[in-house]
Chain A
Amino acid sequence: MSLAWSFYISTVLVYLGVDIMACWGLNLQYGYTGILNFSFIIYQAAGAYTAAVLTLGPNTTGGFQQYIGGANLPFPLPVIAGGIAGGLLSAVAGAIALRRLRSDYQAMVFLVISLIATAVVTSDAGLFNGPAGLSVIPQPLSGVLNLSLVGYRWFYVGLTAVICLIVYWFVRRITSAPLGRSLRAVRDHDQGAAALGKNVTGLRMTSFVVGGVIAGISGAVLVEFISAWSPGAWLYQETFVLFAAVIVGGTANNAGAALGALLVPVAFLEATRFLPQFGPPGLSEALQWVAVGLLTLIFLWFWPRGVLPERRRIIPLPGLQQARTGLQRPFDYEKTAGTR
């Protein structure tokens, strides 16, 4: 493998790992709990920012970039702090929007939160260094390991894979536990879940904050690798790509979400990178977004449950035999949209 390819493939693999983690986090919120979190990307950005600041070292006045706080923590700590930051920010946003709002109304509020966050961060240079963001973030352990440039990249691929496995184990613990069942109950019929004594808002909040922590961790892993952070990279459209990934891969299915991360942000968007650039600058990017939107619509129309659909969980009890046939569609409960 030539050097350039080695560089490229290691980069793509790290991005894949980050996207897979993000899709698991989003899938926990969207697929399992039914929260349409259109501000997912800002929790990722918050985690990334925290991790960056905690690796950059103390903020020297008169330095070329301004940031809040600043410390020089050893490797795993910035990533963990990133997760905490994502979780805290989620808790704040969740406290505002997760009360009894209708699901689409909630989604609209989250979208507005995402748009405003971008507006605030880019318009005020004093707070987060404005649109320039942060750069020259030192890469973790690079001083200790003494690897070649390419060697370090492959080391980081391994590191990402390990963090991915930890996140997977964690998400899997939730989704296959009684907690996961409660979350699905909240998603399918929140009033029914409440009637059975489940704390609906609390369960939504749990899932939302855990998703936020995962978002923060994934952002931190990304920023430590590319060693730069700018608000322009965390726009609401990026959340939409993750949604597209989860929808294409399979909602409420962790393997599906991972497959979606491979198919949409990586395969679909990377493949177009190899097409020749055409037209004025920005044209091919715009068409890429159009393609992502169309892909989502096509899947929602033809395969709304994705490539790997959610496993049907049926409890075989003799008395339930009849009820089972009546439950062909798992989502019969919630009111459908609009007026027919």
Chain B
Amino acid sequence: MFLHAIGFGIVTAAVMALAAVGFTVQFGITNILNLAYGDVMTASAFVAYASSSAGLSPWWGMVVGGLFGAVFSVLLNRFLYTPFIRRGARLFTMIIVTIAAALILQNCLQAIFGPDSFSAHISAGATVRVLGMVFTATQLILIAIAAVALAALHGLLRYTRLGKAMRATASDPELARNCGVPTRWVIDGSWLLSGLLCGLAGVALVTELGSFDFTTGSVFLIPVIAAAVLGGVGHPYGAMLGALVIGLASALEATYFNPAYQDVVAFGVLIAVLLIRPQGIFAEVASQKEVAA
């Protein structure tokens, strides 16, 4: 029972980590809390669904979904967020802009695909026992995808010129630009990267859940935000840790108490963090951006 819950929690955490890292990296670099993130996830899942309905293999559908998320995020930033920022929109206004974007996107999805629930194309596959935990083959692949994607992100941020430029932009955009970092391209790159993670996470999420509708991503955004805040918003490793904690906690809660309250666990964690340590576990980025003091 316990091991089963842990196994389930790891799968949830893997998907959540993908999403939370994308959310938090993008915040760290661009300083925008993008609340349309969950709906971009849903949109990517629908694109993957449509592509595999058209005959593509479901795993290729995941690639298509990831690419869609990446391109869509860049366009969202280029044609909606950046123009508002150029006009001198305050943080205040930007959050309304992102919520408006979320509302528009979600309802466009409803208008196109209708309110029905869809079932994902990937079947669960054979069951595999690992250390007493039971996984399906699909779940193991999802965990592997998340691990590879996050390791690749780590490598990118740590060892490449682009990653260095991103970290420089995150810590001080003015200084980075004065030192010759093309911040505009770096910001585009960060939206591309976070969009890729967002799209992958969207497809992984619906694969794990088995069925989805136009609200799936925005509902999932609650634990994603909680994971990002717990780990210290803007901090990728913090987001991974936060996702692991929240994934395991909500799986244990669902096993031993009422499964309907899974999201409430994430919410409880969020409240506790805000009361005790609002800047999260890894506080560097959060404190530097004066998110909480």
Once the chains bind, are B101 and A293 in contact (CB under 8 Å)? yes
Q: Footprint of A on B, CB under 8 Å?
A: 29-33, 35, 80-97, 99-101, 103-104, 106-108, 110-111, 114-115, 169, 173, 183, 187, 219, 222, 225-226, 233, 258, 260-261, 263-264, 267, 270-271, 274-275, 278, 289-293
Contact of B278 among A101, A119, A240, A300 (CB under 8 A): A101
User: How far, in whole Å, are A33 and B222 apart by their CA atoms in the complex?
Assistant: 26
**Which listed residue, B32, B278, B291, touches A337 by the CB 8 Å rule?**
B32
Residue of B nearest to A35 (CB): B92
Of B29, B92, B103, the contact of A334 (CB 8 Å cutoff): B92
**26 contacts across the A-B interface (CB closer than 8 A):** A38-B99, A96-B274, A96-B275, A100-B293, A102-B289, A102-B290, A103-B95, A104-B94, A105-B33, A108-B225, A109-B274, A116-B263, A237-B103, A282-B110, A283-B111, A286-B107, A297-B80, A301-B87, A334-B90, A337-B31, A337-B84, A337-B91, A337-B92, A338-B31, A339-B85, A340-B85
Smallest CB gap from A283: residue in B: B111
Q: Residues of A contacting B31 with CB < 8 Å?
A: 337-339
| Chain A at the B interface: SS class | helix
- CA gap between A102 and B292 in the complex, in Å: 6
Give the docked Cα–Cα distance between A87 and B238 (Å).
Answer: 35
Residues of A contacting B225 with CB < 8 Å? Answer: 108, 112
Interface size on A, residues (CB 8 A): 53
Instruction: Check: A73 CB closer than 8 A to any chain B CB.
Output: no
Contact B100 A296 (CB under 8 A): yes
Residue A107 interfacial (CB < 8 Å): yes
**Contact residues of A with B, CB < 8 Å?**
34, 36, 38, 96-97, 99-105, 107-109, 111-113, 115-116, 119-120, 123-124, 237, 240, 243, 247, 279-283, 286-287, 289-290, 292-294, 296-297, 300-301, 304, 331, 334-340
Chain B proximity of A283: nearest CB distance (Å):
6
With contact pairs A111-B99, A124-B260 given, residues A300 and B290 touching in the complex (Cβ less than 8 Å) = no
Interface pair A36/B96, CB less than 8 Å apart = yes
Residue of A nearest to B109 (CB): A286
For B93, give its contact among A101, A115, A292, A300 (CB under 8 Å): A300
B-side contacts of A293, CB under 8 Å: 100-101, 103-104, 107
Shortest beta-carbon distance, A103 to chain B, in Å? 5
Question: Are B81's CB and A338's CB within 8 A?
Answer: yes
Q: State which of B33, B100, B107 has its C-beta within 8 Å of the C-beta of A297.
A: B100
Inter-subunit contact A104/B33 (CB<8 Å): yes
In the assembled complex, how far is the CB of residue A100 from the closest CB belonging to chain B, in whole angstroms?
A: 5
List 6 A-B pairs, minimum CB-CB distance, nearest first: A123-B260, A293-B104, A339-B173, A338-B85, A337-B94, A289-B107
By beta carbon, the residue of chain A nearest B286 is A105
Q: A36-B95, A293-B104, A339-B187 known; 14 other A-B pairs, CB under 8 Å?
A: A102-B289, A104-B91, A104-B94, A116-B267, A120-B261, A123-B258, A124-B258, A240-B100, A279-B111, A336-B89, A336-B91, A338-B31, A338-B81, A338-B94
Task: Take A112-B225, A116-B263, A340-B86 as given contacts and tell me if A102 and B91 are in contact as well, using a CB distance cutoff of 8 Å.
Answer: yes
Beyond A36-B92, A300-B89, A340-B85, is A105–B291 a contact (Cβ under 8 Å)?
A: yes
User: Is the Cβ of A123 less than 8 Å from the Cβ of B261?
Assistant: yes
Report the separation of the CA atoms of residues A137 and B17 in the bound assembly, to the nearest whole angstrom: 46
B residues less than 8 Å from A287 (CB atoms): 107, 111
Given that A102-B91, A340-B85 are known contacts, is A116 also in contact with B264, CB under 8 Å in the complex?
yes
CA distance A282 to B215 in the complex (A): 14
B92 to A103, Cβ gap below 8 A? Answer: yes
CB pair A286–B84 under 8 Å, yes or no, is: no
Given contacts A280-B114, A294-B104, whether A103 and B267 have CB atoms under 8 Å apart is no
Which residues does chain A contribute within 8 Å of B95, judged by CB atoms? 36, 103-104, 107-108
By beta carbon, the residue of chain A nearest B29 is A339
A145–B113 alpha-carbon span in the complex (Å): 50
Per the bound structure, the CA–CA distance linking A181 and B290 in Å amounts to 25
Closest partner residue, chain A, to B274 (CB atom): A96
A99 to B169, CA, bound (A): 28
Residue of B nearest to A107 (CB): B95
Instruction: Provide the bound-state CA to CA distance between A237 and B106, in Å.
Output: 11
What's the least CB distance linking A76 to chain B, in Å? 35
A338 to B219, CA, bound (A): 25
Chain A hits for B169, CB < 8 A: 339
For A329, the closest partner residue in chain B by CB is B88
Q: Which residues of B contact A340 (CB under 8 A)?
A: 85-86, 173
Q: How far is the CA of A246 from the CA of B261 in the complex (A)?
A: 34
Contact B97 A300 (CB under 8 A): yes
A205–chain B nearest beta-carbon distance, Å: 15
How near does chain A come to B109, taking the closest CB pair, in angstroms?
8
Q: Which residue of B lies closest to A120 (CB)?
A: B264
User: Min CB distance, A334 to chain B, in Å?
Assistant: 5
| Nearest opposing residue in chain B for A281, CB measure | B115
CB-nearest residue of chain A to B88 = A336
Task: Please tell me if the beta carbons of A34 and B92 are within 8 angstroms of each other in the complex.
Answer: yes
Pairwise interchain contact A300-B84, C-beta atoms closer than 8 A: yes
CB contacts (< 8 Å) of A36 on chain B: these are 92, 95-96
